[in-house]
Structures are given as structure tokens and as C-alpha cells.
Structure 1
């Protein structure tokens, strides 16, 4: 079962970041997120510019995502057992090399170009470490009390949103001059960010003792409460994935594709604003008291999407829904961190679960978008939101929080 930790008073971001090592952790974590926030876009832009085929570019991006989804939990388990430094240095070297090769293949021509791009994309994905989970595992070690830890997770949500806004913009700006140079932006992640993280031994959680990593130790996701939380993250992914694809598809069908960008940016701004301004206050609450209400706000706001009627109200609805995103995700990670003793593997499974859900939601939304251009398609998102809320409630109920 969850072990309650002593809860100090409210912890502000300023107080949280007084130790220099924690400030360095935030900076290194932000730079390390470059591949997470922009690798897919960079691969598509570079590969399509080199081969003039979006189909091939999509294949390369899919290989990256699939390889990353398969390998990220394995990297996380290795970090728990051997320490983060070794994994970050090895995986960072491989990924940086893969992005360099991808850039070179995009600059050349010949029969080897397409196979080379595909292999480089797959190698970069296989080396991808779930940096969000690695950084949160460091926070779980550096700030073990509940209030500081949950406030730190909310701060990480702000960093996430900012990187997902800024990195695609930087990649697009570079691509206007040279499309093949897009991977050079995300290359800084493993080449600089991961190296900085590897050097921060003061915030790194110690490896598990040998006796804790043997066959008798239960897997992080074998605990009932952890499985329920991972299922909730899958539900969140279906909700977010369906919204994203439908926003893009319906805006494009309306002849105004830029409005999808405005709506997605409004969502990110709502999420970042909630984490930035309310984070220290939400950090005082137990994550069980934040997770379901925040999910209810986020998914309930989704009811406004099919009712918006025009573009500006749709952007407003996305901003309102985004307000619940950071609190729900950060409290979910905080719960999972407590149930898996801060292990990176457990939090990595949550990220992988959300990625799988995003794929399901995007596929379902894309299938529906091909058959209708009506705003009524957003009722699919409402349905996924109801599923996500139900799974979140089950994850924090007595049955979902119990462990064998």
C-alpha cells in the first residue's frame, strides 16, 4: 500500500530550487528533452526534404517511435539497476551518432540513402531514454518528502510544455534554410543534455542493491496499483491523441490549418499556466486528492469541443482543458513514484502507456476524420475522456491502490 510521508508546509518553486544542484537538474532536463519534443518532427522534415516522399518520411518516424517505445522501459530498468550515468553515456553516444548519420544520409543521394535514413531513425529510437522518467526519478531521490516531490513534478510539467512549444518552432526555423539540418537541433539533447545529466551525480538515485534486483523482487508494473495507474495513463493518451489529430484534420478541412496550431498552443499554455502558478499550492495536497479532480476538469472541458461552434471558442476550450493537464499528469507520476519507490522503470511504463494510448487515439481520430469533417467528431474525444476519468478513479480507489 502507499506509505504516507510527512508533509511540510507549502513549498514554492523558489524554495525548491535553492540548492544549486536542483537548478542544474532543471536546465539539464530541459536540454535533454530535445529528442522527446522534436525528434519526430525533425525526422519527417529532414527525410521528406531529402527523398520528396512523405510516405518514406512517415515510415522513418514510425520506426523511431516503435523502437523508442520498446526500448525505453528496458533503459529505465537498466538505470534502476546500474545507475543512470552509465546508461545515459552509452545511449547518448549511440543516439548522437545515429542523428549525425541521419543528417549525412539526408545530404547524400544514391541507392543507400533510403535504407540509411530508415536504419539511422530506428537506431536513434532504440537509444532513446525516457528522460522525463529519469529526471522525475532524480527528483524522487533529491526531494523525498511528498510536498516537495509533487511540486517538483509540477515544475517538470512546465518544462515539458515549454519544450514542446519551443523545440518544434526551432526545428521549423532551421528547416526553412536547410531541411537536412533538422536533426542537428535534437542532436543537442543526447550530445549535451544527457552528458550534463550523467555528470550530476549528486541528484542521481543510487542503483538498487543486488538483493533487490533479483528474481524475488516484483517488477514495477506487477503491482496492482501500478497497473491501474498505467491503465489510466493509457486512457489519458487516447484522449489527448484523438484531440490532436481531430484538431489538425478539421482545421485543414476548413481551409485554416493554422488554427490547429493556435488551439494546441492554447492547450499547452493552459497546462503550463496551471503548473506555474498553482503548482506550489497543489503540491500541498496528497496526489490522490489532485489526480481525479484534475482529470475531471480536463476531460469535462472536452465537452466544450463539439459545442464550440467556431474557431475562437474552440481555442478557448483547449485552454480550459489544458489547465487540468499538468496537475493530472504530475499527480499521476507522483502516485506512481510512491508505489514503485521512485523507480525510473515504473514511471517509464506510464510514459509508454500514454504513448500507446496516444497511438490508439490518433488512429481512431484519423479514421473518423476521413469520414466526416463535422465538429461532431469531437464526441469521440469526449468518449475517450470519460474512459480516462473512469480509469483514473479506479486507480485511486481502494481496489486500485492496494498492492499484494
Structure 2
């Protein structure tokens, strides 16, 4: 099987990497990440104009790509620059709308691709612990519309989002796959409260509280109680995106570490000439290539049957969690004490790699999920 990128993907990767290198330097990134908005609306609009957001969507939805490898190419570049703009929310919310939405709802995809709408995906809850089917937020019919009650936690860039895709239970028990529904919720919906806070690795997250939040009849995304498939597919796209982002961050951490080994002297010689450090670096390079293989395998499986797709995604997320933590630790240790300083980009890459492990399921969760899917 040929895993080389198409000419279009190579051009996309080149232009995006060049844009991030020129317009999204480390100091600029930190200013954006620590700002009260949590991302740059100007950069977000430029991503839209460059076709970066559109590359995450299929031609049937008005986009320019949408395949697993398109997602991987974009997010690997984002990982290299520690980009905090809300593309993860776009790819997850967009997938749910694409899979389950009617024509009117799918029309919102054009607004997302143009940068006019910031979309966020709200599924995680304070007590969910990564389990997709554990949904306590409830939705009940009220006249011609719906009423939502519950809490969603750690919604990426939720303060700035104008549209949310929200999971809620319309029937069944708390852990049942059946009975989960998805809803399109505008940020100004009556009864919705958004409370933001800074994320530990830059940008901002939000907690959404639904207190008798009122929605129209057109808010339901897909069939009532039949949202689990779209939910799983949206989360799967997010997992692939995070794995590719981690791969880009690993590459940047690796490059910084190699440069340090080649320029730092001790006892009058470059420390990269020390055999012990050479062995550690060689092991690290092999691990990063294994991570790359896992991402390629996951991207290639996005159009396969459910079990094959989900096992490949869990295998990749498990590998990324383990290897990302290893890269963070080894890169900092080979830099010595300077590796932990705030002024050095490496510390921020290490922090992001550790946090990616905890998004959408950590390595322990995905190892167990991989085993369980093998029994299905």
C-alpha cells in the first residue's frame, strides 16, 4: 500500500508549515495562548482563507478533502507550532453534523469552513471518565422543542464558540448506547451558561451548564436516541487529529533536542558525542517512527468497518500517549535543567504532549478499549 501523500496534501502541508513558521512564532503563540480570548480571530480567519479548515471536510460537504490523511496532514502541522485555534472543535462538530444532519443543518458546515462560525463539541461530563456512552445530561420534549439539563466539562474554546454540538440522553440508562441524542445548540440559547478558564497547556476551555435550556425542534441532530454512531465517529476524528498533532509536537521536540546535543559543550566537547546520549536519542527516534506508523494506520482505517476503524484509533491513541510522554521526559532530561524553563519552547511542547494523552481517553482507557473491541 502506498502511504505517500498526494500532491495536493504535500502542497497543503508546505503552505501550512510555512505560514505557521512565519506568522505563528513561539512568542506570538504564547501571547495568543495566554490572551483572554484564548486564540486569535485573525489567525482563525487566515486559516479559513488558506483552505485549512475546508481541508478537514469532504467535497460532498463543500470542503476540499475530508479523508483521514487530510486531517492528519493539517494537525501534524498544527502540532509543530502548538497552534491553539479551535480546529479540533471544527473537525469533531463538523463530523457529527456531516454524519447526522439534514440539509438545513449541513448548511452550517459552510459557515464553519469560512471561519464565520466557531463550533465546539460538548460531550465530556465531570463524571464520564472517557466513556462515550456515559451521558447524564438529559433532553426532554417541550411542546415543539426541547429542554436540556446537565453539565458539560472541558469544552475546548467554548467561550468563543457560537455553535455547540451537545450530547444528551433522551431515553435509557446512564451508560446505554441507545437513547443518546445529539443537538445543535447556539451559544445564546436561553438557559445555557458558559464559564471559561485557562487550559494548562495554553488556550481556554469552558464548562457548559444547561438549566432548563430551551431549544427549537430543529435542534435535534439525526434521529432521537440514535446519536451514538455519529458521536463515536466524531470522537474518532478527534482522536486521529490529536494523534497527528502529538506527532508534530514530537518532531519539534526531537529537532530541538538534536540541535541542543549538537551545540552544547561539556568538558570541551559537544554532548552529542557522548555514547550514552546517542543511544537514548536513537531509541527516541525509533519510538517517534513507531508513533508515525500508528497515525498512518489510523488515518488509513477511517473508511474501514467500525471495529477495524475504532481499533486502529485506540491503538494509535495508546501509542501516542505512551510515546508522547516518553518524548517529553527524554527531551527535557537531555536538555538538563534548562529544559524546564518557561522561555524555552521545549517545556511547552512537553506539556502539550502530556495533556494530549488525557484528551479523548488516555492510554489506559484506549488499551482496554482496543482489547474489548477485539472480542466484539
Normalization by structure 2: what TM-score? Answer: 0.31
Q: Which has the higher strand share?
A: 2
Normalization by structure 1: what TM-score? Answer: 0.29
Q: Which has the higher helix share?
A: 1
Structure with higher RCO (Cα < 8 A, 6+ apart): 1
